[in-house]
Chains A and B, each alone.
Chain A
Amino acid sequence: MKKGVMRPGHVQIRVLDMDEALKHYVDLLGLIEMDRDDQGRVYLKGWTEVDKFSVVLREADQAGMDFMGFKCLDEDVLDNLHQDLKAFGCEVEEVPEGELKDCGRRLRFVAPSGHAFELYATKKQTGKWGLSNRNPEAWPRGLQGMKATRFDHCLLYGVDLDKTLELFRDVLGFDLAEQVLTPDGKRVAQFLTASMKAHDIAFIDHPEPGMFHHASFFLDTWEDVLRAADLISMTDTSIDIGPTRHGLTHGKTIYFFDPSGNRTEVFCGGDYHYPDHEPVTWDADELGKAIFYHDRQLNERFLTALT
């Protein structure tokens, strides 16, 4: 049942070198630089996003994800969810308004998987980049690289998938859209949605808590994914795998790495989910096909290179 959580709103990613990172996220991926703050963090977004930013880069001495934030309908929803999170047993920290520029107060908590998440309801809206909200053109000129349209989801590796599902489903109102089950019924992957998308957040079972697998960005067409692959070669960017299709969600995809080793995905297509749909299930012995629908076998790097 929906609890007022709308969508993935932002992700803060740690990078080893900000200048190199900006070449990746801005010049290659095509995000727009929107702002910087006095901590040196850089705020980016995809051109179709209405809110001011969705990706925050922070220079640090290790790679990985600081937190992922979900935007909620309004401030009352935040107050209710604060209580519900506490009742579930989460420690909730209130991050004051303005800690991220032009963003309202955020509730931060750590999920049983070991990842930090945030809920917030207020962020400055600057509108789609380069377009008016009145009689808008189809797209703005001056986009770079892959022209990523929006931040779409993250895939995270961590512990305690069952408890994490309980938190996201029962407290935050996500649905389980897809899952991977072992023969004895253990869930080793779960794809969760707060919308109609096949996933807004996904988790894979892994003995280390709090690991980051990828942040993903949406493209319109398969042709765009192919063009992204061309750009990856042209720039000699570290590739993981693709272009290919997933069995899970059926998205068409390519994976590559930022210069600090964080994985980036761009993809198009994919299934949709309504709240009355049963979860789609893949059997763990079909995992190769579930992850890479064409190769039908797993790639060691995809499973184990994490930040």
Chain B
Amino acid sequence: MNNNNHTCLEQETVTEHLITLNATEQDGFRAKSDVSVLVAMERAGQHLIPVGCRGGGCGKCRIHVLQGEYFSKRMSRAWISPEQESAGTVLACRIFARGDLVIEPDPPEIRPQSQTK
């Protein structure tokens, strides 16, 4: 069974890209185009981005993409507004690299009572 959680079938051949963190000397990791950026990071044994549900629901893996092309699947509007999404703030578990990416983690703050009502 393929639950499509990690896989994106929109591309015919799998390509591989380099994901690097903005403003750091760290090496980054390589991500295949058919695996989400978050899962690629986990497979590379790195911890640059916090890992939650891996399904676009919990918001923990929120990042800014500063540079590069990617394909994205639906992500929960609880964490990413349409404006944020078009400005490159996305959930790493819902994007698939289509070129080398430069990213910056942006895990959401806990939102106390008043803001969510």
Contacts and interface: CB of A to CB of B under 8 A. Distances in A.
Interface stretch (A77-85, A118-126, A253-261): A253-261
A130 interface: no
Nearest to A305: B52
Interface in B16-56: 50-56
B54 A209 contact: no
Interface string B89-114: 00001000000000000000011110
Interface in A12-65: 16-17, 20, 23-24, 27-28, 61-64
A236 interface: yes
Contacts of A208: 110-113, 116
Given A61-B76, A261-B57, A304-B60, A209 B3 contact: no
B113 A235 contact: no
B1 A23 contact: yes
A260 B52 contact: no
B55 A209 contact: no
B11 interface: no
Interface in A226-276: 234-238, 240, 257-263
Main secondary structure on A side of the interface with B: loop
B13 interface: no
A146 to B, nearest CB: 12
Q: Is the interface of B mostly helix, strand, loop or mixed?
A: loop
A20 B3 contact: yes
Given A207-B112, A209-B116, A305-B58, A261 B1 contact: no
A261 B58 contact: yes
Contacts of A16: 55-57, 73-76
A257 B6 CA distance: 12
A304 B52 contact: yes
A237 B113 contact: no
Contact of B116 (A210, A236, A259): A210
Contacts of B60: 301, 304-305
Contact of B3 (A24, A159, A262, A301): A24
A20 B5 CA distance: 8
B74 A257 contact: no
B110 A262 contact: no
B86 interface: no
A306 interface: yes
Contacts of B9: none
A238 B54 contact: yes
Looking at A63, A209, A235, which has the most chain B CB atoms within 10 Å of its CB?
A63
Given A16-B55, A260-B57, A261-B58, 13 more contacts: A16-B76, A23-B4, A61-B76, A63-B76, A206-B110, A209-B113, A209-B117, A236-B2, A237-B3, A237-B5, A238-B54, A301-B51, A301-B60
Q: Which 10 A-B pairs have the closest CB atoms?
A: A261-B57, A261-B53, A63-B57, A261-B55, A305-B52, A238-B54, A305-B58, A307-B57, A62-B78, A62-B76
8 contacts: A20-B4, A23-B4, A28-B3, A63-B78, A64-B76, A208-B113, A261-B52, A307-B78
